[in-house]
Amino acid sequence: MTGWSFGGVTVNVGGGFTRMRAMIAETTGLDPVMIKAFPTFGMLLDNGAALQVAELDQPWAWRVRTCIRPGLLDHITTGTDR
């Protein structure tokens, strides 16, 4: 990549996500940890839909369809949200 090192891209993208999460937290009042986790779960749901996991009788597909239990992210605190 001309003019960019992978490290530079990582720093810029990471900084952009940090600013985006801060803006969402300020606007919505949601917990920053939940905001950080949301895109990950969203990608999992998108992939599960694309793979049609509801129609698969496989252990890994069952786990993708399992409801997220309350308190899943309780072990993560704002102090460790880096």
pLDDT tens digits for the chain (82 residues)?
Answer: 444 556 566 666 767 778 888 888 889 888 777 787 777 778 888 888 999 998 999 988 888 877 777 777 677 665 655 5
CA distance 18 to 24: 10
In a domain, 25, yes or no: yes
Question: Per the domain annotation, does 53 fall within a domain?
Answer: yes
Per the structure, the count of domains in the chain is 1
Residues 6+ apart with CB under 8 A from 51: 61, 64
Is residue 57 situated within a structural domain? yes
Is-contact 24 4, C-beta < 8 A?
Answer: no
Q: What is the pTM of this model?
A: 0.48
Of 31, 23, 21, 27, nearest in space to 73 by CA: 31
Greatest C-alpha distance within the chain: 48
